[in-house]
Amino acid sequence: MKSYTLQASALTLMATLTLTACDQGPVMSGGPTSTGVITGFGSVFVNGVEYETTDASFSLDGSNGSEDDLAIGMVVKVEGSVNADGTTGNASSISYADELEGIVTDVSQLANGTVEIMGQSVKLDPLMQFESKVATIVTSADLQVNNIVEVSGFSSGDGFIVATRLEVKKASFTPGVDELEVKGNIKNLNGDTFMIGSLTVLTSSSTKLDNIPNDQLADGLYVEVKSTEGINASSQLVASKVELENGGKKGHDGDEGDEMEIEGVVLDVSDLPNSFNLNGQKVLISGKTEFEHGALNQITVQARIKVEGEFNGNGDLVAKKIEFDEAEDSLEYKGNLEAVDTTAGTVTLGGKTFQVTNSTILKDSRDNIRYFKLSDLAVGDYLEIHAYADADGNLIASKLERDDP
């Protein structure tokens, strides 16, 4: 990714799409379930829709929570309705579950944007949100072997994850105090061991099996492994619990006719042009499928896209529309804010004007304002903006962050 430091005072931040509740207008009946990354608060912004959360329930890793427990960069599932404008809606429930909470085991490829966490290859997305509770670890470049991190993102279930949020929880693991978690498809089951990605998991008579069919592990089952003992001298994760996830199948649950909107990463294209795998969900392409910002030949492994579709009787998602993520081609701009227009939703930096949308990630790393919006900006603020040019040449901000210079 190219980086441009703009000395002129500028960076025009987020639009008045800000995170404040607005007139909802007519509501569509039972809008689609939406899975995607949280890009802002003040309501909750997911997949370009500002969801009002006044009457919403919240679930975090299976436990009741609140909106305050959520963070930018988390991949969540939103149930609710979307208004006729397509940009606002009402959430009835929002659920979050991390993909991995584990020990960093290899940082040799960190400079290339990849880190290994308990046998899972984790790609650090350019727009990934990074947080740390360890004072000496400030950026992802500071990650060290043995750090305990929590990852949210898009997973293949077979050892590959694209991280949209990574939080360093502790400098190192404490057996009997901390709990490790990893999800994936069981492979190479052999007696009391199996693998998830390149991680070997060791079970024993004391390992609790939760919702496992007939209490029998099997290759291909999608599970979550928990461990309070950690990794032993043989580099095996000692399992305290193995729990069936999502009915044992990586993907999304949906009845025939249910609508779904999924943001994610393409993991398998071996069945193109008929279908492909997105985050473990099989997506079918038909002659009626519409393409936006791209074409069929651009569906490649690790391409980040959004699919709107409807489930068929086999649990496959039949794509109505496939939208490609233009932000993958974003450039980075840094400098002092020169102007902000909250009505137009633009900011100006280094003489360039950037449009802020509902999909723009808004983050305040200077004052840590949670409900950060364009009206919080002032001329002279130091900004870092990731942006891409749309078909008309307009600069669209995919991420806007206020920070100390």
Domain residue extents for the chain: 3-16+328-402, 33-96, 100-247, 259-325
Q: For all residues of the chain together, what is the average pLDDT?
A: 90
User: Which of 17-21, 232-236, 305-309, 344-348 comes out lowest in average pLDDT?
Assistant: 17-21
Q: Look at 326 and 370; give whichever has higher pLDDT.
A: 370
Q: What's the CA gap between 337 and 12, in Å, rounded? A: 6
Question: What local confidence, expressed as pLDDT, does residue 394 receive?
Answer: 93
* CA torsion through residues 36, 39, 41, 46, sign: negative
User: Average pLDDT of 48-66?
Assistant: 94
Copy the structure tokens of residue 81.
């309705």
CA 22, 75, 397, 132: dihedral to nearest 10 degrees? 110
Give backbone dihedrals phi and psi of 287, rounded to 5 degrees, phi first.
-65, -15
Question: Is the model's pLDDT at 9 over the cut of 80?
Answer: no
Tell me which residue of 257, 263, 250, 317 sits closest to 286, measured CA to CA.
317
Residues 6+ apart with CB under 8 A from 146: 103, 104, 171, 172, 173
Supply the pLDDT for residue 386: 94
- Kindly tell me if the per-residue pLDDT of 26 is higher than 70: no
Given CATH 1.10.10, say whether it is the number of domain 33-96: no
Strands 75-82, 33-41: pairing is: antiparallel
Answer whether 3-16+328-402 and 259-325 agree in fold. yes
Quick one: pLDDT at residue 31?
63
The Cβ of residue 141 has, within 10 Å, a number of other Cβ atoms equal to: 11
Give me 234's structure tokens: 């043989």
Judged against a pLDDT cut of 60, whether residue 256 lies above it is answered with yes
For 351-403, how does the pLDDT look when each residue is reduced to its tens digit (9 = 90+)? 999 999 999 999 999 999 999 999 999 999 999 999 999 889 999 999 999 99
pLDDT at residue 330, rounded to an integer: 80
pLDDT for the residue 32 = 79
Strands (E), 160-316: 160-170, 180-185, 187-190, 193-196, 199-202, 208-210, 222-227, 230-231, 236-238, 241-244, 259-268, 275-278, 281-284, 290-292, 304-311
Q: What is the pLDDT of residues 154-186, one digit of tens each?
A: 998 999 999 999 999 999 999 999 999 999 999
Task: Please list the residues that pair with 331 across neighbouring strands.
Answer: 387
pLDDT category, 11, cuts 50, 70, 90?
Answer: very low
Least confident of 9-18, 55-64, 221-230, 306-315: 9-18
pLDDT at 29: 38
pLDDT of 12 higher than 90: no
Which is it for the CA torsion 250, 255, 256, 261, positive or negative? negative
| For the chain, percent of residues with pLDDT exceeding 90 | 81
Q: What is the mean pLDDT of residues 262-273?
A: 92
What class is the 3-16+328-402 domain? mainly beta
Instruction: Count Cα neighbours of 240 within 13 Å in the Cβ-side half-sphere.
Output: 13
Question: What is the per-residue burial (b if ≥16 Cβ within 10 Å, else e) of 367-381?
Answer: eeeeebbbebbeeeb
Contacts of 277 by beta carbon, 8 Å cutoff, 6+ apart: 156, 266, 267, 268, 269, 283
pLDDT of residue 14: 34
For the ranges 44-58, 154-168, 180-194, 322-336, the lowest mean pLDDT is seen at 322-336
The more confident residue out of 6 and 177 is: 177
Backbone angles phi, psi at 134, to 5 degrees: -105, 120
β partners of residue 149: 102, 168
Nearest-angstrom CA–CA distance, 365 and 372: 10
Lowest mean pLDDT among 130-139, 310-319, 320-329: 320-329
Q: State how far the Cα of 352 lies from the Cα of 340, in Å rounded to an integer.
A: 12
pLDDT tens per residue, range 79-94:
999 999 989 999 999 9
Residues 6+ positions from 271 with CB-CB distance below 8 Å: none
**Cis peptide upstream of residue 213 (ω within 30 degrees of 0):** no
Q: Give the three-state DSSP class for 214.
A: helix
The reported pLDDT for the residue numbered 183 is: 97
The C-alpha angle 71, 76, 317, rounded to 5 degrees, equals 160
Distance of alpha carbon 20 from alpha carbon 22, whole angstroms? 6
CATH code of 259-325, in short, is 2.40.50.320
Residue 6 has pLDDT above 50, yes or no: no
Instruction: Say whether pLDDT at 126 is over 90.
Output: no
pLDDT score of 3: 41
Give residue 24's region: left, alpha or beta (phi > 0; psi -120 to 50).
alpha
